[in-house]
């Protein structure tokens, strides 16, 4: 056992760090492209409902577990049930998910780093939109390039985590989160002045059934989990560095609001710019990487703002990736008694290695086309390469299953008195307890099970309708 566990320096430190974990590629890369693909306003509405009714209660449950047990997920489930309990599996799933998610997350962050570089060294305004859009394809199919930036991003992540809870995680979140907000505000003013603001807002906020499919609902939920950093113990781990008398209720509400506002802000910034440049909102995962440089090339001022935008994207990815690495690192510190340095270097090194197949997916026979053919039956003819298979696995299965485990555990297994005391400690909002418990007991599990069944194609199997 490590002699002295780290703690946050202050409540604000925790909020910035947890907010930093939540705000990330999910908000600025994921939210706009999924909103674009699913038709806009109606998807946003479902997303907001998922955040408020499913995400927020789970966030409170995660922070509750961490704060109460003062240890990382595997040990936390043991402490609240008994040694050898099957509930510890939920903690294990989280540690495994940390490796998997970070391995592809770092690849996307690596693209972003590369785009900082190319938007400084390339004059987009000299190129046609087709040429600019083509850059993304060239980047993702270049194995050496993607591996290089992925490894560099992991080095950055490791160098922050190795410094520990206060000196590393908290200090960097304190620097990067305000920087992010300033950059967002600059871009917001820019979008208001130069973008097609009215059309952008209409797309985002007027519910419109076009392009909204049944599958948009599970997608919105998966995105909410991912964006709020739920379902794999990241917030159990962060909560374990809170003092036991801290108010988890208002902290969770603040972090969720922060996360949701950044996602909405990203949409409010991106869509007006995309529409002003006649871009396609349904451009898929490449949306940010193709449309933004095209838009910035056509709009004056883009020379400065394009690198700034990708810098921002990289910053937010960094405050999230440190929380993913911290889950794996904390496991080895708390459960195996490793030093922080050893734990960080070993887990970070492992993620670097596991990420290589994702980094080379776009340009590799084995992990790209080969893997696509292999997974064809699984995805009904739309096989996924290694990278996309892992994205899918974590969004659609690991995080919802983890979230379900956490909700069921806290709602049905944990001792009533412990749960109520932990929830209300230090909080003026303790009376929300019964509402929280009700959501966690009934609505949250039912909703997640429905979504999981959907993801696994069980409804199609039972009721037909799909082309299985
Ligand atoms: N929430 C981050 C984002 O939106 C990603 C992330 C960090 C995450 N930690 C996590 C996702 C834990 C799931 C679980 O980009």
pLDDT, tens digit, 9 for 90 and up, residues 273-301: 888 878 888 877 888 898 778 877 877 77
Q: Does the beta carbon of 414 sit less than 6 angstroms from any atom of ligand 1?
A: no
Which atom, in ligand 1's list, is nearest to the CA of 234?
12
Ligand 1 centroid to residue 24 C-alpha, Å: 7
Which atom, in ligand 1's list, is nearest to the CA of 97?
14
> Nearest residue CA, atom 6 of ligand 1?
229
Q: Is the pLDDT of residue 96 over 70?
A: yes
Q: Is the pLDDT of residue 378 over 80?
A: no
pLDDT on residue 177: 78
Of the listed ranges 142-146, 164-168, 217-221, 249-253, the least confidently predicted one is 164-168
Which atom, in ligand 1's list, is nearest to the CA of 24?
15
For 206-216, the pLDDT digits (tens) are 998 888 888 78
For 400-459, the pLDDT digits (tens) are 999 999 999 999 999 999 999 999 998 899 899 999 999 999 999 999 998 888 777 776
Q: Which of 20, 23, 24, 160 should be mutated for ligand 1, with most atoms under 8 A from CB?
A: 24
Q: Is the pLDDT of residue 465 over 70?
A: no
Which atom, in ligand 1's list, is nearest to the CA of 259?
4
pLDDT on residue 456: 76
Place 233 in a pLDDT band, splitting at 50, 70 and 90. very high
Ligand 1 centroid to residue 324 C-alpha, Å: 7
Q: Does the beta carbon of 324 sit less than 6 angstroms from any atom of ligand 1?
A: yes
> Nearest residue CA, atom 8 of ligand 1?
229
Of the listed ranges 203-212, 319-328, 374-383, the least confidently predicted one is 374-383
Ligand 1 centroid to residue 71 C-alpha, Å: 20
pLDDT on residue 343: 96
Residue 54 CB neighbours (<10 A):
26
Q: Does the beta carbon of 229 sit less than 6 angstroms from any atom of ligand 1?
A: yes
Distance CA 150, CA 108 (A): 8
Ligand 1 centroid to residue 206 C-alpha, Å: 28
182: buried, middle or exposed (CB in 10 Å: 19+, 13-18, 0-12)? exposed
- Average pLDDT along the chain: 89
Mean of pLDDT values over 322-336: 94
Mean of pLDDT values over 248-255: 96
HSE (side-chain half, CA atoms, 13 Å) at 135: 24
Eight-state DSSP code of residue 430: G
pLDDT on residue 278: 80
Which atom, in ligand 1's list, is nearest to the CA of 324?
9
Residue where the block lists tokens 């509930």: 87
Q: Does the beta carbon of 329 sit less than 6 angstroms from any atom of ligand 1?
A: no
Distance CA 251, CA 241 (A): 13
List the Cα angle 391/393/396 in 5-degree steps.
Answer: 95
Q: Which of 98, 227, 233, 236 should be mutated for ligand 1, with most atoms under 8 A from CB?
A: 227
> Nearest residue CA, atom 9 of ligand 1?
229
pLDDT on residue 4: 62
């Amino acid at each position: 056992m490590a002699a002295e566990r780290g703690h946050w320096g202050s409540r604000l430190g925790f909020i910035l760090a947890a907010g930093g974990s939540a705000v990330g590629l999910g908000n600025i890369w994921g939210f706009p492209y999924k909103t674009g693909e699913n038709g806009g306003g109606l998807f946003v509405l479902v997303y907001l409902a998922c955040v408020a009714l499913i995400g927020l209660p789970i966030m409170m449950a995660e922070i509750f577990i961490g704060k109460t047990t003062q240890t990382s997920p595997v040990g936390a489930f043991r402490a609240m049930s008994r040694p050898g309990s099957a509930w510890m599996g939920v903690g294990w799933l989280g540690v495994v998910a940390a490796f998997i998610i970070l391995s592809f997350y770092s690849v996307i962050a690596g693209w972003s780093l590369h785009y900082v570089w190319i938007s400084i060294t390339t004059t987009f305004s000299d190129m046609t939109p087709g040429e600019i859009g083509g850059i993304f394809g060239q980047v993702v199919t270049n194995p050496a390039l993607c591996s290089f930036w992925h490894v560099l991003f992991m080095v950055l992540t490791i160098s922050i985590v190795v410094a520990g809870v206060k000196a590393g995680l908290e200090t960097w979140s304190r620097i990067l989160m305000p920087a992010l907000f300033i950059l967002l505000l600059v871009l917001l003013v820019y979008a208001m002045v130069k973008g097609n603001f009215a059309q952008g807002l209409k797309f985002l906020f007027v519910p419109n059934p076009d392009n909204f499919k049944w599958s948009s609902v599970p997608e919105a939920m998966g995105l909410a989990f991912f964006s709020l950093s739920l379902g794999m113990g990241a917030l159990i781990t962060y909560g374990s560095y809170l003092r036991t008398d801290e108010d988890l209720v208002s902290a969770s509400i603040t972090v969720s609001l922060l996360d949701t506002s950044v996602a909405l802000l990203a949409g409010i910034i991106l869509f007006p710019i995309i529409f002003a440049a006649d871009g396609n909102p349904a451009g898929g995962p490449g949306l940010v990487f193709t449309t933004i440089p095209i838009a910035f090339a056509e709009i004056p001022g883009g020379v400065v703002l394009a690198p700034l935008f990708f810098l921002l994207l990289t910053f937010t990815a960094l405050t999230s990736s440190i929380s993913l690495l911290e889950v794996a690192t904390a496991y080895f510190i708390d459960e195996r008694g490793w030093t922080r340095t050893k734990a960080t270097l070993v887990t970070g090194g492992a993620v670097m290695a596991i990420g290589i197949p994702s980094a080379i997916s776009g340009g590799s026979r084995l992990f790209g086309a080969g893997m696509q053919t292999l997974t064809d039956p699984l995805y009904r003819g739309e096989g996924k390469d290694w990278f996309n298979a892992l994205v899918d696995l974590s969004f659609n299965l690991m995080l919802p299953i983890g979230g379900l485990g956490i909700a069921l555990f806290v709602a049905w297994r944990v001792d009533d008195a412990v749960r109520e005391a932990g929830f209300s400690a230090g909080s003026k909002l303790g009376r929300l307890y019964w509402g929280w418990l009700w959501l966690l007991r009934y609505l949250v599990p039912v909703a997640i099970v429905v979504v999981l069944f959907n993801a696994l194609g069980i409804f199609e199997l039972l009721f037909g309708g799909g082309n299985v």
